[in-house]
């Protein structure tokens, strides 16, 4: 089914078929007049030897986000010549545009640059099921360069059961430290939640951590220099994002909920979809809305009649 995008997506369908060129930048101007759509629609033509992990890294997007946007394509052996949708366009979350905002279902971190009309967007890894990253409104408590890691008793017990060897009580800074070179401690609970780097080349854009927020090393290195102790941090759970743009178009973006069991009824997207409200509901095609809810792809789509 062809999905019609509004003009802010940038290109007509003819130009969209041109090869997208990966770029390192992930900064977007914040739209004006109440608009929430940022970025542009991009396609990537698969080359021999490509796989989703390498493509996601080249665009600095999450692996799950790339998979959700391209259902039915083998992430390990995508057919050469096939066109992949790159999830480089999105609706801003429904939050104040200040500090750090992490929307758990989309596995993205937004940093709203102070005294600027710019938002920076990064893929993140979050807590796996059973060790979920909590929703919170907090702030950065401490900035830590070259952090050591003190695994909890639970983590040490799980590691012993899985690997047959014990973790030390404290892992010093260095190449064996899973926190990487930078960490931002959040002023939430007992202070065990961090935004940090990693010493691995996987897990970004996935649910793999013990509850912390994991970033690519170059991303956390950049963010570390932008923020100060006391900077606000919001972690939200918004699987459905909607916007009636200033030109009247209704845009819907749906992400898979964290788990069908963690929030029960609230994670049933069809039930939540019944509460989705657009400013000009009479223009909305309910069939398009239901299709987006039934098959979340994490892409903003026009749902007008």
Give residue-wise pLDDT tens across range 247-297. 999 999 999 988 655 444 444 555 455 557 787 778 899 899 989 988 999
In this predicted structure, which of 73-77, 107-111, 136-140, 290-294 has the lowest mean pLDDT? 290-294
- Distance CA(24)–CA(89), nearest Å, equals 15
The pLDDT value given to residue 22: 43
pLDDT of residue 51: 95
The model's pTM is 0.86
Regarding whether 71 and 200 lie in a shared domain, the answer is no
- pLDDT number for residue 18: 37
Question: Residue 284 gets which letter from DSSP?
Answer: B
Write down the mean pLDDT value for the chain: 85
Asked if residue 173 and residue 146 are part of one domain, the reply reads yes
Is beta strand 194-196 parallel, antiparallel or unpaired with respect to 213-214? parallel
Is there a single domain that holds both residue 213 and residue 125?
yes
> Does 27 share its domain with 51?
yes
Q: Which of 41, 53, 163, 212 is catalytic?
A: 212
162 domain-assigned: yes
Per residue in 60-82, pLDDT (tens digit) is 999 999 999 999 999 999 999 99
Write the CATH number for 23: 3.10.350.10
Tell which of 51, 69, 91 closes a domain. 91
- CA dihedral 230→234→235→237, nearest 10 degrees, is 170
Is residue 2 in some structural domain? Answer: no
- Report the largest interatomic distance among the alpha carbons of the chain, rounded to a whole angstrom: 61
Residue 43 is assigned to a structural domain of this protein: yes
- Assess if residue 159 is contained within a domain: yes
- The CA distance from 102 to 136, in Å, is 10
Residue at 1 is within a domain:
no
**Do residue 262 and residue 228 come from a single domain?**
no
pLDDT of residue 38 exceeding 80: yes
| Dihedral angle of Cα 262, 266, 271, 272, to the nearest 10 degrees | -120
**Span 143-166, pLDDT tens digits:** 999 999 887 788 888 878 888 888
* Number of domains making up the chain: 3
Our CA angle for 95, 11, 28, nearest 5°, is 30
Q: Are residues 185 and 163 in the same domain?
A: yes
* Same domain? 39 vs 148: no
- Kindly state the DSSP code that residue 10 receives in the 8-state scheme: -
Percentage of the chain modeled with pLDDT above 90: 61
pLDDT in tens, 166-224: 888 888 888 888 899 999 999 998 888 999 999 887 789 998 887 899 999 999 999 99
Q: What is the pLDDT of residue 91?
A: 97
> What is the span of the domain harbouring residue 219?
99-236
Mean pLDDT value of segment 104-109: 96
53 is catalytic: no
Please check whether residues 114 and 200 belong to one and the same domain. Answer: yes
More reliable by pLDDT, 10 or 193: 193
Tokens for 114? 């102070």
Q: What is the CATH number of the domain that holds 162?
A: 2.40.440.10
Higher-scoring residue by pLDDT: 46, 115: 46
Catalytic residue flag (residue 196): yes
What's the first-to-final CA gap in the chain, in angstroms?
14
Contacts of 171 (CB under 8 A, 6+ apart): 148, 149, 150, 151, 177, 178
Q: Does any domain span residue 279?
A: yes
Q: Which of 236, 252, 279 is the last residue of a domain?
A: 236
pLDDT, greater one: 92 or 305: 92
Catalytic residue among 41, 120, 196, 255: 196
Could you tell me if 193 and 104 are in contact, meaning their C-beta atoms sit under 8 angstroms apart?
no
């Amino acid at each position: 089914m062809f999905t019609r995008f509004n003009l802010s997506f940038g290109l007509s369908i003819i130009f969209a078929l041109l090869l997208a060129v990966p770029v390192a930048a992930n900064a977007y101007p914040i739209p004006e007049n109440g608009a929430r759509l940022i970025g542009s629609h991009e396609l990537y033509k698969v080359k021999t030897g490509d796989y989703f992990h390498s493509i996601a890294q080249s665009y600095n997007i999450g692996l799950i986000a790339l998979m959700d946007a391209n259902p039915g394509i083998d992430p390990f052996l995508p057919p050469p010549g096939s066109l992949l949708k790159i999830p480089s366009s999105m609706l801003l979350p429904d939050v104040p545009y200040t500090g750090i905002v992490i929307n758990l279902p989309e596995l993205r971190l937004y940093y709203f640059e102070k005294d600027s009309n710019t938002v920076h967007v990064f893929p993140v890894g979050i807590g796996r099921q059973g060790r979920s990253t909590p929703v919170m409104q907090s702030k950065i408590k401490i900035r830590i360069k070259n952090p050591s890691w003190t695994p909890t008793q639970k983590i040490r017990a799980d590691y012993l059961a899985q690997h047959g060897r014990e973790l030390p009580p404290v892992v010093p800074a260095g190449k064996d430290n899973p926190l990487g070179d930078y960490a931002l401690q959040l002023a939430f609970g007992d202070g065990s939640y961090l935004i940090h780097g990693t010493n691995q080349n996987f897990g970004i854009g996935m649910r793999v951590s013990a509850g912390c927020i994991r970033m690519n090393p170059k991303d956390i290195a950049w963010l570390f220099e932008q923020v100060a102790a006391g900077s606000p941090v919001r972690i939200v759970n918004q699987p459905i994002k909607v916007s009636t743009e200033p030109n009247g178009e209704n845009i819907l973006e749906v992400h898979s909920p964290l788990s069908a069991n963690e929030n029960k009824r609230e994670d049933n997207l069809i039930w939540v979809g019944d509460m989705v409200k657009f400013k000009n509901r009479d223009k909305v095609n309910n069939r398009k809305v239901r299709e987006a809810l039934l098959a979340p792809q994490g892409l903003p789509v026009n749902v007008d009649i």
